[in-house]
Amino acid sequence: MLSRVAAVKAPRTHHRRRVTGSSGRRREGRESEPQRPNMSRRVFTFAVLHLFVVLVMCCRGAASSEMGTAVVEPTSPMPSSKILIDGGGSVSEKEQPLQRVDLFVPNQTLVLPKGGTSPETTRDSFVSPSLVSAGGVIAAFAACHMDFEKPTDASLKPSFGVVAVYVNSARSWPALVAEVNNSTWKAHTVLGTAEGKESLGGLFNPTTTTKGNKVFLLVGSSDAHKKGLDWKWDSLKLKLVVGDVT
């Protein structure tokens, strides 16, 4: 009787084996239990990568076909014209080309003095341009500068000012081009500086804005005094000039 009980309680070891996993713990399982293969995970990863490559190639093909030609619309107020740019980068004009006109030309554009107290002269440079529109008139402003070639000559010194040209917005573009290219085209002195024998005034970086028919001109101003052959500038100030468009 005791032998049967012992036989029943004795463990059966010929059908089970101990296996040590990656975590170091032992687990028991049947010898006939197969291991799960890793092939399904590899096949799924390869299929996802292959699908991603196909999608990228399709997107590139669609983008290259859409970039074959592109039409650029200029945003300038000039007459409507279009420039067709093909995929190779060359430019072909399908309509009239863009036209440009030079409002201020150094050593060429004549400047009328304020009040007509001196003859018309040219300027060596025009800088800091700005453009405003008020009362149907377009006004272009710029700071002008006249250099001096011989610093040793006391009678020659630099000159500064702010000039403007006026354009009737009702005129056509070809008429404006013809007017600017005409020899009668002149700029008008809007703001000048008081100059003495040993002093001069400088005007810098004008900027403009409008409200109704009024034009507001804000410009930096500084005075210089001669020290030997050099000019010593004072601190910069701001001037505000308000005018009406007529």
pLDDT for res 134? 86
Does residue 82 sit within a domain? no
Q: What is the mean pLDDT of residues 73-78?
A: 42
User: Which residue segment(s) compose the domain that 140 sits in?
Assistant: 110-244
Does residue 24 sit within a domain? no
Does residue 198 sit within a domain? yes
Does residue 64 sit within a domain? no
Closest Cα to residue 131, out of 83, 97, 167?
167
Does residue 232 sit within a domain? yes
Contact yes or no for 205/219 (Cβ under 8 A) = yes
Own/partner contacts of 147-155, CB < 8 Å, gap of 24 or more, are 151/229, 152/229
Does residue 95 sit within a domain? no
Does residue 216 sit within a domain? yes
Task: Report the chain's mean pLDDT, rounded to a whole number.
Answer: 70
For the chain, what percent of residues have pLDDT higher than 90? 17
The type of residue at 232 is: K
Residue 231, Cβ density class (10 Å: 0-12 exposed, 13-18 middle, ≥19 buried): middle
The total domain count for the chain is 1
What pTM, to 2 d.p., does this model score?
Answer: 0.55
pLDDT for res 88? 42
Q: Which residues of 197-221 are buried (b: 16+ CB within 10 A; e: fewer)?
A: eeebbbbeebebeeeeeebebebbb
Does residue 210 sit within a domain? yes
